[in-house]
Amino acid sequence: MEPQNALHSRNYQQVVAKIGATGGSSHITSEEGALMVDELEAIAPFIDQHYSDEITAAARAALTDAELFVSYNMPEKALGPLAAALPAAPRHIKLNQRLAALYTRTGRFSEAALCCRTLQSVYGEASFHEESSRYGGPRCEV
Q: What is the CATH number of the domain that holds 100?
A: 1.25.40
Domain that holds residue 111: 27-140
> Within a domain: residue 21?
no
What's the confidence (pLDDT) of residue 22? 47
Residue 36 placed within a domain: yes
3-state secondary structure the chain: CCCCCHHHHHHHHHHHHHHHHHCCCCCCCHHHHHHHHHHHHHHCCCCCCCCCHHHHHHHHHHHHHHHHHHHCCCHHHHHHHHHHHHHHCCCCHHHHHHHHHHHHHCCCHHHHHHHHHHHHHHHHHCCCHHHHHHHHCHHHCC
In order along the chain (142 residues), what is the average pLDDT of each group of 10 residues?
61 67 57 73 85 97 96 94 97 95 91 94 94 73 46
Would you say residue 6 lies in a domain?
no
Residue 3 located in a structural domain: no
Does the model's pTM come out above 0.85? no
Q: How many domains does the chain have?
A: 1
Q: Give domain status of residue 17, yes or no.
A: no
